[in-house]
Chain A
């Protein structure tokens, strides 16, 4: 084999490695802005709210998830502050009674069944254990989703089945498939 041939081979390999490791993540993900620039920090500090005030566990064990319009409009029937983000929210959603279409970072596939109740009430996990420091952020981080599969980058990073299984095994909790699939 000539040096020239090897050179091109190596150049090709390097180009591919660069594209695959550095370039591919930019291409495979697309960003979507959230409908409203919501600040958790403002609500936690200024309004003195806790996670459960909006993200509650209902009596039947189901989880409220991201609150719907009536929860927010309960306080924000009119603008309570002076930020342009709040004004945009009131004008764009509260007044016309339009539901916000939040992009859910943790949205799992349809066949996955995750129940907050045993993790929060029985295992006493903190919200931050899986969701990170959302509660103290001033801005919602950008929502990036995989162009092909549609799942968010956050799921790829830390909420895949391997991650759940690793944590369960670490605590010695064995589960059957149907416990987490529906």
Chain B
């Protein structure tokens, strides 16, 4: 199987901030609903939509998820447990909660704040555990988790290909939950290696040199300014 580099192309102008991607991600990855003490700092939202405003009444929504950094991956370089690894075959930065010891060094290192800690054991109301997705293992408290580009779906696509005697997956079989759920098609999943001229657009905090694989697009200058500015986070609400 040839090596691939999976990435995303997100059109900020199409995002309506509906949040379907956030819920679809939680359903697919067995993220529990908010416990009693959860708030916007302690909740777990592998993909999170931020609202940015230009101060003159214009609004835009920016979905932020793990940027799957390709170079100098910050979380990989700081983890004392090697609980996160960049897969050379797909470019996906894979988080293994089963190895994690919960030091949260990676959360401090991640410039995109895309990593989330399980402050509590996951708790589903009685009966709701029947709705869990068997393709993804639930995590215990004390470990960090983040977006893995829906590895459960990646596994299913590979198993389907293998059952048909193929090593390469059918691209239509591997669609992350957020991409599937987006009503306007703002989030697109793509294989970057198949696009020699790149997907265009800009990336968040490009100056840091982490080589993220999520490319954002917008026709609006003020959106690009906020995304590029290091202080852009203050103008974001989410």
Contacts and interface: CB of A to CB of B under 8 A. Distances in A.
Contacts of B138: 110
Contact of B159 (A118, A176, A177, A178): A118
B97 A111 contact: yes
Given A60-B156, A176-B85, A177-B96, A117 B163 contact: yes
A182 B136 contact: yes
Contact of A181 (B96, B159, B160, B162): B96
B89 interface: yes
Contacts of A177: 85, 87, 94, 96
B152 to A, nearest CB: 6
B136 A61 contact: no
Contacts of B154: 178
A178 B167 contact: no
A121 B161 CA distance: 10
Interface string A18-57: 0000000000000000000000000000000000000001
B156 A182 contact: no
A58 B164 CA distance: 10
A117 B158 CA distance: 9
Contacts of A176: 85, 87-90, 92, 94
Contacts, number: 73
B137 A178 contact: no
Interface in B90-140: 90, 92, 94, 96-98, 135-138
A179 B156 CA distance: 11
Interface in B156-177: 156, 158-165, 167
B220 to A, nearest CB: 36
A145 B151 CA distance: 30
A178 B148 contact: yes
Interface string B61-100: 0000000000000000000000001011110101011100
B155 interface: yes
Given A118-B162, A122-B162, A178 B94 contact: yes
A156 interface: no
Contacts of A59: 160, 163
Interface of A: 57-62, 109-111, 113, 115, 117-118, 121-122, 176-179, 181-182
Interface of B: 85, 87-90, 92, 94, 96-98, 135-138, 148, 151-152, 154-156, 158-165, 167
4 A-B pairs closest in CB distance: A61-B159, A176-B87, A117-B162, A178-B94
29 contacts: A59-B163, A60-B159, A60-B160, A60-B163, A61-B158, A61-B160, A61-B161, A61-B163, A111-B97, A115-B159, A115-B162, A117-B158, A117-B160, A117-B162, A122-B165, A122-B167, A176-B85, A176-B87, A176-B88, A176-B92, A177-B87, A177-B94, A178-B85, A178-B94, A178-B154, A179-B87, A181-B98, A182-B135, A182-B136
